[in-house]
């Protein structure tokens, strides 16, 4: 008699970000069928999005097709589909025209820009989360410089070249430094009427200091560097209202050609209807093993999850943390399948692995040639921190081609000060 092999276990992974992709890669086992759903066809390296927005890199440099990344993994299939609903009772995920059944579900749909209860501000102050966001921001700022060159009214020129950035975390700080350098660099290239004094970059932060997750001396250093670049900083300042081309704070109204929201995130709305506990940002509260309470075969990982690890540490919304959670859940599922199909099947629930977050640190770049780095008790700032930032981000990029092109573009930009992605393409993306 020919032995019949047991049916494969179906693992459905939602989202090809850092969490979902790492999970899929680690689920490489002949006993498992992996299906990955994402509404986009690419994995995006979000930490370098600001460089696309500020014309240092082109969009394809920081993204890679998901299908290509998993091409050699025979047990994995990829579908470009948007998830609409998740039905935990019938173990099924619905897209617009299909239903995907699962044995195990991994929810890794990430976060979106949050407006602290003012969704109407999004139209006037877009966030930075996707390649489309980055490209339209770049388009807007480069066009504003061109419009300013055509403008006879000095007041209007100044309004066009005013950029207000809400949020003084790493993204806001990186954008402020890079936009200031971009415009200064751009106007040196043949602009005759726009002058450096027309440029105004304003950074607004609700907390008492910039980069509040870093140490005090690093925040002070960042503020000093940004002020040296001419950036206006308002800490301890809450935005009161945002309208077309205007942002209100401290009882006054600032007219700005570009307003960018880099202040907050909230969980992906797809999971809002799930009958399970959520935190104040709508993140799914998971147990230490990353599974949903009452649904041991359903996991939430990455930015969409609120997780306290085995040491009671709240896992931060960072790329490395998301990837670690992805690897943890994949290993857990693999060992559970092994136990369930082996001699120790009665012990399966007892043997569940719990997640321990390994802090690899945080970094933020502050204009050209300076950065801050913090990893546990180790910290660094200045030029060496900037070199470390370049090195780490280059290593983390997916794909050799991307690493090489990014390295060449950074080298060129550093030596010549030129930005390679400054072409304005019409119509607006």
Ligand X SMILES: Cc1cc2nc3c(=O)[nH]c(=O)nc-3n(C[C@H](O)[C@H](O)[C@H](O)COP(=O)(O)OP(=O)(O)OC[C@H]3O[C@@H](n4cnc5c(N)ncnc54)[C@H](O)[C@@H]3O)c2cc1C
Question: Which active-site residues does the annotation give?
Answer: 174
Size of residue set near ligand X by CB under 6 A: 33
Task: With H, G, I as helix, E, B as strand and everything else as coil, classify residue 198.
Answer: helix
- Binding test (CB under 6 A) with ligand X, winner from 302, 315, 373, 381: 302
> Closer to ligand X at the Cβ: 198 or 205?
205
* 366 is a contact residue toward ligand X (CB under 6 A): no
- CB of residue 325 to ligand X, shortest distance in Å: 8
> Closer to ligand X at the Cβ: 194 or 222?
222
Q: Scanning the structure block, which residue is given the tokens 């009161």?
A: 240
Angle (deg, nearest 10), helices 216-228 and 170-188: 20
Determine the distance from the C-alpha atom of residue 252 to the mean position of all C-alpha atoms in its chain, rounded to a whole number: 31
In the numeric block, which tokens belong to residue 422? Answer: 């400054």
- CB of residue 131 to ligand X, shortest distance in Å: 10
Sign of CA dihedral 306, 309, 314, 318: negative
What is the length of the chain? 429
Contact 226, 258 (CB under 8 A): no
- Which secondary-structure segment (H or E) carries 163? strand 162-166
* 270 is a contact residue toward ligand X (CB under 6 A): yes
Q: Which stretch binds ligand X (CB under 6 A): 15-23, 56-64, 116-124, 198-206?
A: 15-23
Report, in angstroms and rounded to the nearest whole number, the Rg of the chain calculated over CA atoms. Answer: 23
> Closer to ligand X at the Cβ: 109 or 233?
109
- Binding test (CB under 6 A) with ligand X, winner from 27, 55, 78, 83: 83
CA atoms within a 13 Å half-sphere pointing along the CA-CB vector of 390: 18
* 405 is a contact residue toward ligand X (CB under 6 A): no
Bridge-based pairing of strands 32-38 and 76-80 is parallel
Tell me whether the omega of the peptide bond preceding residue 247 falls within 30 degrees of 0, making it cis. no
- CB of residue 311 to ligand X, shortest distance in Å: 19
- CB of residue 126 to ligand X, shortest distance in Å: 12
* 18 is a contact residue toward ligand X (CB under 6 A): yes
> Closer to ligand X at the Cβ: 137 or 194?
137
* 421 is a contact residue toward ligand X (CB under 6 A): no
- Binding test (CB under 6 A) with ligand X, winner from 46, 51, 54, 291: 46
Task: With H, G, I as helix, E, B as strand and everything else as coil, classify residue 242.
Answer: strand
* 320 is a contact residue toward ligand X (CB under 6 A): yes
- Binding test (CB under 6 A) with ligand X, winner from 65, 110, 167, 367: 110
- Binding test (CB under 6 A) with ligand X, winner from 24, 160, 319, 366: 319
Q: Which stretch binds ligand X (CB under 6 A): 5-13, 14-22, 192-200, 400-408?
A: 14-22
* 108 is a contact residue toward ligand X (CB under 6 A): yes
CA distance 193 to 171: 31
> Closer to ligand X at the Cβ: 27 or 318?
318
- CB of residue 179 to ligand X, shortest distance in Å: 14
CA distance 353 to 38: 27
CA distance 72 to 289: 29
- Beta-strand (E) ranges in 205-345? 232-234, 239-243, 246-249, 252-255, 258-261, 265-267, 284-285, 291-292, 295-300, 305-306
- CB of residue 366 to ligand X, shortest distance in Å: 13
- Chain residues in the site for ligand X (CB under 6 A): 15-20, 37-40, 46-47, 49-50, 82-83, 108-110, 128-129, 170-171, 268, 270, 302-304, 317-320, 322
């Amino acid at each position: 008699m020919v032995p019949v092999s047991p049916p494969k276990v179906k693992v459905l992974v939602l989202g090809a970000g850092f969490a979902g992709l790492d999970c899929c890669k680690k689920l490489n086992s002949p006993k498992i069928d992996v299906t990955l759903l994402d509404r986009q066809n690419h994995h995006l390296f979000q930490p370098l999005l600001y460089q696309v927005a500020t014309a240092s890199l082109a969009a394809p440099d920081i993204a890679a097709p998901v299908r290509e990344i998993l091409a050699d993994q025979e047990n994995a299939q990829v579908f470009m589909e948007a998830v609409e609903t998740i039905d935990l009772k019938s173990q099924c995920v619905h897209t617009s025209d299909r239903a995907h059944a699962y044995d195990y579900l991994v929810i890794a749909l990430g976060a979106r820009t949050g407006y602290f209860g003012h969704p109407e501000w999004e139209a006037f102050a877009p966030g930075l989360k996707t390649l489309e966001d980055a490209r339209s921001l770049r388009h807007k700022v480069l066009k504003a410089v061109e419009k300013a060159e055509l403008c006879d009214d000095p007041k209007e020129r100044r309004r066009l070249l005013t950029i207000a950035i809400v949020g003084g975390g790493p993204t806001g700080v990186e954008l402020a430094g890079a936009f200031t350098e971009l415009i200064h660099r751009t106007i040196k290239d043949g602009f005759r009427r726009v002058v450096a004094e027309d440029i105004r970059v304003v950074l607004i932060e609700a907390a008492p200091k910039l980069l509040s997750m870093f140490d005090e001396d690093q925040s002070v250093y960042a503020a000093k560097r940004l002020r040296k670049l001419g950036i206006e900083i308002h800490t301890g300042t809450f935005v009161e209202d945002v309208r077309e081309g205007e942002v209100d704070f401290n009882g006054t109204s600032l007219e700005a050609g570009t307003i960018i929201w880099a202040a907050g995130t909230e969980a992906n709305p797809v999971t809002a209807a799930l009958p399970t506990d959520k935190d104040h940002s709508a993140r799914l509260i998971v147990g230490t093993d990353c599974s949903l309470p009452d649904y041991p075969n359903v996991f939430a990982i990455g930015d969409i999850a609120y997780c306290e690890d085995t040491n009671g540490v709240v896992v931060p919304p960072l790329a490395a943390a998301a990837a670690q959670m992805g690897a943890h859940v994949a290993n857990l599922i693999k060992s559970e399948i092994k136990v369930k199909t082996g001699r120790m099947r009665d012990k399966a629930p007892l043997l569940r692995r719990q997640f321990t977050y390994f802090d690899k640190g945080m970094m933020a770049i502050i204009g050209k040639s300076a950065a801050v780095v913090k990893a546990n008790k180790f910290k660094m700032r200045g030029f060496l921190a900037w070199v470390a930032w370049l090195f780490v981000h280059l290593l983390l990029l997916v794909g050799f081609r991307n690493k090489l092109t990014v390295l060449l573009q950074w080298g060129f930009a550093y030596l010549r000060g030129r930005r390679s992605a400054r072409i304005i393409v019409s119509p607006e993306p």
